[in-house]
Structures are given as structure tokens and as C-alpha cells.
């Protein structure tokens, strides 16, 4: 297939979940298909453009500037978004130039498939496209905003988050319905989009992990009291997770294990987290690192205290492949075929989460059982080659349904169900 792949960023450095999933998917697809990668370019490095040939045969960049988070311009845009029908996370990526590029590139049957990677670049997809179209949904975006709204206690922030949830739900529903096929990253997300948005053509692909790359080194000295969390710290669900953990869970763990430490690995840590690490020596904030493996390798356990989110957490499979016991909230492990008490430990209340971590830190045999089972599960079942194969199957379905009226698709879907 000749695939036009739309994104709002280049993939290097490959340092967050969405980039990791796309990078490995495209590396697999590139072996048998021709990939043209069309992206917005916010002045990213020449290295990021040069390295793009790892995942595509052709790169097309459209200049586009977005405001840095926490800058005065960023807050001005947030305020201005109150009067926009579009959610802020979509509006900031709107580009007339990108829309013109999409229209020009797809004219005359130059491509067999257009893939819109994440909801954000979809604002730049013209209403009529000659080739089949796929929306690759790494999350149910409206669900993330809904969960933000639900856990927020500040009245002003809560009102703003409610507005973003409402706008995102409306935009996401309309957008899902105008693509030939939607690909989700979990069965749970697939069923939510099917029921919430009334779309018939939606499938799911499994989450993958590079099982050759993520293996324990065993040369790193293990710290029996160290916990680790990895993730982009400019992503709101990760920010909420660490705030929740440091405020409500870590103090409980310290009562039983006074020497416990937490290492937070991820780009763009928010200012109050950096300040917290300066005041509390038990909390280490690294910022962006070139390789997360040494930090996972040194830790005694991996924690995923996420309360907000959609899609699936690649970080869990990475930790499992590194043979680390994982303690997560139910939402943190949502969408992954892992079993509580077998490959992972799930706990939601602060007390239950703290108790689970304490047991892992103080009972080596108990922790080792999870490590072995988890590593075996990911190595046997979740390589990226299998993920790419499932993705191609979704693209083939989009080619079959391209141009078929929505009503007919819904009837076909109902007939299948019967």
C-alpha cells in the first residue's frame, strides 16, 4: 500500500508513549509498504528530520508554531479557547497549510490509504478524500478530559475541564464518524467508541513492546527500596498520577519502609514537581533521559498510579519486559490483557496501593513471582510484528468500506452481531 501518514510531530526523540507506538508500528509497516509522513514541524531539530528515514520513505514537513506550556501566550490561548467550538488540544494544531498539503497529495489516486495518527491532526483533513481513510486512536480523548473533570477539586479548573470535555466529546464523535475506519488500541476503547459515537467500523490492535530492547542488564546495582515511574511529565494524566502518589500514597509507604525513594523519569517535569524534589530528598526527578532502562533496572518495583487516561500504557509492558513487579491502578492497566495477582498487582485506594508496594519491597519471593510471569507474558505475545499485522487488517477493512454510506455500515454491523 501507499500510505499517507498524518502526525503533528516528528518522532525523534522517541520518548513518549504515542511516539513509541507509532515509531515501532511504522518501522514494521515500512518493510512492505510505502510511507509518506506528513507532519507539522515546530522548529524541531535537523536530527529529527534526518532520522525520519527509519520509519518512512518520504517526509513532508509543514511549519507550525505552538505555545510553550505555562507561558503567558499559552494561558492567553486557554482563555481565548472559551469562545471556540473546538477543544484547545485540537484548535492549537489547526493548519490551513497542512490541509492544503493533504488535499494536494491525495489528488489523483496517489495514495491507497490516509492514516490520521491521533485525533489532533484530523482537524486538517479535508471533508472529501479520494483514498480510504483510517483514524488511529491511541486514546478515547473525551474520556481523558472527563476523568480530569471528575477528579478536579478546584471549582474554576473543574468548570474549564468540563468545557473541554464537552467540546472534545462532540468533536471526537463527529470525527470518528467521517473516517472509513477507526483503529483503537484496546478492546475497551473499541467498545466505548462503538457505543458512545455510534460507529460501526472500528477495530483494535494490541499494545506492543520491543522485547529485545527491554531486557534487564543485571549489571546495574539494584536498590531494594527504590520505586520508579516513567512517562512524559507534560502530559496531564501523568502529572495527576504523580501528584496523587506523592500526596496520598508515598507517605503511607514511608511509615513501613522509611528508606523508600521514588525516581520520576520523563521529559518536561512541571515546576511544582521539581520544587518538591528539592525539598524532599526521597524524590528524584530526572527530566528527559536518553535511555529509561537503567532507571527501571535499578528499581525494586514500577508504579503506575494513574487515575486519568484512555488507551493503553506502553510503560507497563516495558517494565514487565524488564522483569519488574508492577503495581498499578485499575485505570493505569486499562485495556491491557494482564491479570491482577498473576502478571500485575492492581490497587486503587491509597491504602491498598501503599500496602501492595510495601509487600513487593519487603517480600522478595512474592515480587520475583510477578517479575517472571510478567516477562514471560510480554515476550511470548506482544512483539510489534503482531501489532503491525493487526493494523494492516484494519486498513484493508477501510479500503472495503470506503465510500459506503454510514447507514449501510450500521446495518452490516448489526447483521454481523446477529
Name beta bridge partners: 60.
38
Is pLDDT at 221 greater than 50 in this prediction?
yes
Is the Cα torsion angle 68, 311, 404, 130 positive or negative in sign?
positive
The more confident residue out of 413 and 349 is: 349
Summarised one tens digit per residue, pLDDT across range 136-159 is 999 999 999 999 899 899 999 999
Is pLDDT at 260 greater than 70 in this prediction?
yes
* Annotation: CATH topology of 2-208+385-417: Rossmann fold (3.40.50)
Is pLDDT at 365 greater than 70 in this prediction?
yes
Query: Which ranges constitute the DSSP H helices of 290-333?
Result: 293-298, 314-321
Summarised one tens digit per residue, pLDDT across range 264-284 is 999 999 999 999 999 999 999
Q: What is the mean pLDDT of residues 58-77?
A: 91
Q: What is the mean pLDDT of residues 281-297?
A: 95
pLDDT for residue 253? 98
Q: What is the mean pLDDT of residues 52-75?
A: 92
Cα–Cα distance between 327 and 94 in angstroms, integer? 39
**Contacts of range 199-205, beta carbons closer than 8 Å, 24 or more positions apart:** 200/406, 200/409, 200/410, 200/412, 200/413, 201/397, 201/398, 201/401, 201/409, 201/413, 202/176, 203/390, 203/393, 203/394, 203/397, 204/390, 205/387, 205/390, 205/391, 205/394
* Annotation: CATH topology of 226-381: Rossmann fold (3.40.50)
| Sequence-ordered list of residues with C-beta below 8 angstroms from that of 291, at least 6 positions apart, any chain | none
Cα–Cα distance between 293 and 337 in angstroms, integer? 23
Give the three-state DSSP class for 297: helix
pLDDT for residue 43? 82
Give the three-state DSSP class for 7: strand
Name beta bridge partners: 326.
302
Is pLDDT at 407 greater than 60 in this prediction?
no
pLDDT for residue 393? 96
Is pLDDT at 309 greater than 70 in this prediction?
yes
Cα–Cα distance between 43 and 288 in angstroms, integer? 19
pLDDT for residue 405? 52
pLDDT for residue 68? 84
Same fold, 2-208+385-417 and 226-381: yes
Is pLDDT at 252 greater than 90 in this prediction?
yes
Summarised one tens digit per residue, pLDDT across range 4-13 is 999 999 999 9
Q: Within 13 Å and on the Cβ side, how many CA atoms surround 392?
A: 18
Taking Cα atoms as reference points, which of 212, 270, 205 lies closest to residue 236? 270
Q: Percent of the chain at pLDDT above 70?
A: 95
pLDDT for residue 311? 63
pLDDT for residue 87? 97
Give the three-state DSSP class for 280: coil
Q: Is 201 exposed, middle or buried (0-12, 13-18, 19+ CB in 10 A)?
A: buried
State how far Cα 179 lies from the chain centre: 21
The more confident residue out of 193 and 409 is: 193
For 84, 166, 237, 358, the CA distances from 160, given in Å and listed in that order, are 13, 10, 16, 37
Cell match 520505586: residue? 227
Query: Which ranges constitute the DSSP H helices of 3-138?
Result: 17-29, 46-50, 72-80, 88-91, 96-106
Is pLDDT at 414 greater than 80 in this prediction?
no
The more confident residue out of 349 and 208 is: 349
Give domain limits for the chain. 2-208+385-417, 226-381
Is pLDDT at 128 greater than 50 in this prediction?
yes
Q: What is the mean pLDDT of residues 272-299?
A: 96
Cα–Cα distance between 338 and 73 in angstroms, integer? 42
Cell match 514471560: residue? 376
Cis ω before 356 (30° cut-off from 0): no
Give the three-state DSSP class for 231: coil
Query: Which ranges constitute the DSSP H helices of 107-235?
Result: 141-151, 155-178, 187-197
Is pLDDT at 161 greater than 50 in this prediction?
yes
Amino acid at each position: 500500500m501507499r500510505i499517507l501518514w498524518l502526525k503533528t510531530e516528528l518522532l525523534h526523540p522517541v520518548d513518549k508513549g504515542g511516539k513509541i507506538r507509532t515509531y515501532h508500528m511504522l518501522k514494521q509497516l515500512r518493510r512492505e509498504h510505502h510511507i509518506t509522513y506528513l507532519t507539522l514541524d515546530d522548529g524541531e531539530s535537523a536530527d529529527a528530520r534526518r532520522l525520519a528515514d527509519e520509519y518512512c520513505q518520504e517526509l513532508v514537513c509543514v511549519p507550525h508554531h505552538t505555545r510553550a506550556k505555562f507561558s503567558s501566550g499559552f494561558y492567553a490561548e486557554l482563555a481565548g479557547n472559551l469562545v471556540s467550538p473546538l477543544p484547545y488540544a485540537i484548535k492549537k494544531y489547526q493548519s490551513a497549510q497542512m490541509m492544503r498539503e493533504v488535499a494536494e497529495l491525495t489528488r489523483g489516486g496517489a495514495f491507497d490509504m490516509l492514516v490520521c495518527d491521533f485525533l489532533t491532526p484530523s482537524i486538517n483533513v479535508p471533508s472529501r478524500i479520494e483514498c480510504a481513510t483510517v483514524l488511529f486512536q491511541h486514546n478515547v480523548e473525551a474520556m481523558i478530559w472527563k476523568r480530569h473533570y471528575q477528579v478536579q477539586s478546584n471549582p474554576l479548573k473543574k468548570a474549564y475541564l468540563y468545557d473541554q470535555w464537552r467540546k472534545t466529546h462532540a468533536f471526537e464523535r463527529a470525527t470518528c464518524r467521517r473516517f472509513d475506519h477507526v483503529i483503537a488500541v484496546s478492546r475497551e476503547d473499541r467498545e466505548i467508541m462503538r457505543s458512545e459515537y455510534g460507529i460501526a467500523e472500528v477495530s483494535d490492535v494490541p499494545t506492543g513492546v520491543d522485547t529485545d530492547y527491554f531486557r534487564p542488564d543485571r549489571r546495574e546495582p539494584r536498590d531494594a527500596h527504590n520505586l520508579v515511574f516513567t512517562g512524559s511529565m507534560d502530559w496531564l494524566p501523568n502529572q495527576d498520577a504523580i501528584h496523587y502518589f506523592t500526596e496520598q500514597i508515598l507517605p503511607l509507604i514511608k511509615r513501613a519502609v522509611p528508606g523508600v525513594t521514588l525516581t520520576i523519569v520523563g521529559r518536561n517535569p512541571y515546576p511544582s514537581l521539581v520544587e518538591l524534589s528539592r525539598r524532599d530528598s526521597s524524590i528524584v526527578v530526572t527530566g528527559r533521559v536518553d535511555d529509561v532502562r537503567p532507571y527501571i533496572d535499578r528499581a525494586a518495583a514500577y508504579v503506575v498510579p494513574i487515575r486519568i487516561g484512555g488507551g493503553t500504557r506502553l510503560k507497563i509492558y516495558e517494565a514487565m519486559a524488564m522483569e519488574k513487579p508492577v503495581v498499578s491502578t485499575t485505570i493505569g492497566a486499562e485495556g491491557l490483557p494482564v491479570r491482577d495477582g498473576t502478571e500485575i498487582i492492581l490497587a486503587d485506594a491509597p491504602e491498598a496501593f501503599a500496602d501492595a508496594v510495601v509487600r513487593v519491597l519487603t517480600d522478595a519471593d512474592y515480587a520475583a513471582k510477578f517479575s517472571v510471569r510478567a516477562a514471560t507474558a510480554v515476550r511470548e505475545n506482544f512483539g510489534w510484528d503482531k501489532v503491525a499485522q493487526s493494523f494492516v487488517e484494519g486498513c484493508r477493512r477501510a479500503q472495503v468500506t470506503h465510500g459506503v454510506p454510514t447507514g449501510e455500515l450500521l446495518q452490516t454491523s448489526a447483521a454481523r452481531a446477529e
